[in-house]
Amino acid sequence: MADDRFLEDKTALVTGASRNLGAVIAERLAHHGAAVAVNYHTSAEAAEGLVERLQNETGGKHVAIHADVRQSAEIRRLVETAAETLGGRVDVLVNNAGPFSMTPYSELPESDWDHIWDANVKAAYLASQCVAPGMMSAGWGRIVNISAASNVLRNHSIYGLAKDALIFLTEELAVELGPQVTVNAVAPGQIIESAADIAEFDPTFVDRSIEATPAGRLVTRREVADIVAALCSPTFAVVTGATIPVDGGFRLRCF
């Protein structure tokens, strides 16, 4: 599938895509033929650099679009701009934006709750609502929500709750938007390239995660991105409402 351009003549919007996992997802969709809108909030230079690189590598038309996905008006503007710039509609939406927090509920400021929930869940609902009419009219669309293995943990506070809610939202959207649109989720385990980030919260988390993972290692961004792209391919045309765990078996518990 590495050289398969099954997204030729399709457009894609990836939220939170200037760096990290979002950037790799944007890259994989572009290499499968999509014209990609790279959403960013604060990392303008990184987003513009990614777009320039993708244009050079693929010869396609790609664009960086600023928007704070916590704000409903910003999401609507983001979708409209992506559609107008890349060809009239958004064919593939990847709801990737997802800030993290594991502050205990007893200490969690209400503003942090809103920040995590709105960026992870509310943004996915609103962006999906915005792209759905174009997808339904065209008779084809793909929505992929980025959940996380934190949905099975009970010490990742509002983040785990939001990622679990995203799975429920995925299932309901699949029912509402089928058969024209498939809606799926990907739930990565701890990503190896982001190990340093989680270590700031819990220095032991990475080692404990590897020990608890049957695959014996952590997942890579490229592996997650390839699954996201695959869900947009003809091979997965009949798969909808599913959450694909990309976690090396981390979610499995034996005792």
Query: Measured between alpha carbons, how far is 89 from 128 in angstroms, rounded to an integer?
Result: 12
Query: Measured between alpha carbons, how far is 13 from 89 in angstroms, rounded to an integer?
Result: 10
Give catalytic residues, as residue numbers: 159
Secondary structure E strands in the chain: 11-14, 35-40, 63-66, 92-95, 141-146, 181-188, 243-246
Hey, what domains does the chain have and what are their CATH numbers? 11-191+221-243 (3.40.50.720)
Q: 242 in the Ramachandran plot: left (φ > 0), alpha (ψ -120 to 50) or beta?
A: beta
**Mean model confidence pLDDT for the chain:** 96
Q: 143: closest CA among 119, 163, 125, 165?
A: 125
Which helix or strand (DSSP H or E) is residue 82 part of? helix 72-86
Query: What is the pLDDT, as a whole number, of residue 3?
Result: 56
pLDDT digits (tens, 9 = 90+) for 198-224: 888 889 999 999 999 999 999 999 999
**Residue 14 three-state SS:** strand
Structure tokens at 225: 């991105």
Query: What is the pLDDT, as a whole number, of residue 253?
Result: 81
Averaged pLDDT for residues 84-88: 93
Residue written as token pair 């509002």: 158
pLDDT over 90 (residue 63): yes
pLDDT digits (tens, 9 = 90+) for 167-196: 999 999 999 999 999 999 999 999 999 999
**Percent residues over pLDDT 90 in the chain:** 94
Query: What is the pLDDT, as a whole number, of residue 178?
Result: 98
pLDDT digits (tens, 9 = 90+) for 111-138: 999 999 999 999 999 999 999 999 999 9
pTM: 0.96
pLDDT over 80 (residue 1): no
